[in-house]
Amino acid sequence: MLAFTINISAQNKNFRIFYIQGSAFIITGNQKKVVRKDMHINDGESLQLDKNISLILIAPDGKAFPLTEAGNYSFKNLLLLAENDKSLTSRYLTYVVQEMTESHEVKEGKLTGGVFRGEMLMRMPPDSCLVIQNNIRFSWVKEMSSEFLFLSIWDKTGRSVFRKSLSDTIYNYELNPGDTDLIYKWSAGNEPDFSANIDVRTITIASLSTIERLNKDLAELKRNLNLQPEFNTLMLLNFYDRNNLFIEEYNTISEAILLYPENALIQEYYKWFLQKHIK
């Protein structure tokens, strides 16, 4: 498991290893140290990367960028690489690092994943989710003592658009896109009516123009995905997270943890996502 103890600050005068898969060494004079996560590279030291390396560095200014080519990198070389890297990859990785670091800075035992709604733990779609599919799968967890519950959906004014008593924990419902983004609220619990006494989740049904814009942006991103498959996956996850496409993000990370079971960063991202959005 990765230990996210990085303090991103412009005051840092060194590089830090955020993620490492493969063989790399920090060279200090005649000494050679095997690289481990969270190690520092200081001025006067150099970084030696072997073949088949995947490494993410945090620069002194907090920028994250990948190194995937074998070779020797002096501290000055690393500064120049960080300064000149204006790529989409670097911007997305920086976002991933900042989000995951802030999540893990919460003291151990204080992380709360998800929100209990009475006896229910609502799961999907997550709160503030932007929905781009017509058919939405609502899912939740309930305690054994609750045989039935109400799945309720309201528009942003509180007007009921759907209410059904269910014994299952999954229900598919169709909400069609319109000319503008449409905001709805939903709840799975014992209270059938919208009131100040119940907790709800908000979802937004993307308009046709929003869907068109997102598809265009996603196509542009995919044209720039030229890294190793694991890094390409992180770029996609970041795109989904930044645009509140949490359903697509969940589907992608659920597949990725099976495709890359040895990749600690992918596994850690999955845990982070669940803590932030689901459980």
Tell me the pLDDT of the chain (279 aa) as tens digits. 343 333 433 345 889 988 888 889 999 988 999 998 889 999 999 999 988 888 888 888 888 888 888 899 999 999 988 888 777 677 777 877 777 766 544 333 333 333 333 344 567 899 999 999 888 988 887 655 556 678 889 888 888 888 888 887 888 988 888 889 999 998 887 665 655 566 688 999 999 999 999 999 999 888 877 767 888 888 899 899 999 999 999 999 988 888 888 787 888 888 888 888 875
HEC string of 180-249 equals CCEEEEEEEECCCCCCCCCCCEEEEECCHHHHHHHHHHHHHHHHCCCCCHHHHHHHHHHHHHHCCCHHHH
Residue 109: predicted pLDDT? 33
Kindly indicate whether the domain formed by 116-208 is annotated with CATH number 1.10.287. Answer: no
Q: Where are the domains of the chain?
A: 15-104, 116-208
> Residue 154 is encoded by which pair of tokens?
């309201």
| Residue 61 tokens, joined | 């200014």
- pLDDT at residue number 124: 86
- CA separation for the pair 6, 4 (Å, rounded): 6
Find residue 67's DSSP bridge partners.
Answer: 55
What pLDDT score does 278 carry?
72
For residue 7, what pLDDT is reported? 40
Query: How many CA atoms are closer than 13 Å to the CA of 111, on its beta-carbon side?
Result: 18
> Looking at residue 97, what is its pLDDT?
76
Q: Beta partners for 125?
A: none
Q: Which helix (H) or strand (E) holds 266?
A: helix 264-273
What is the value of pTM for the model shown? Answer: 0.69
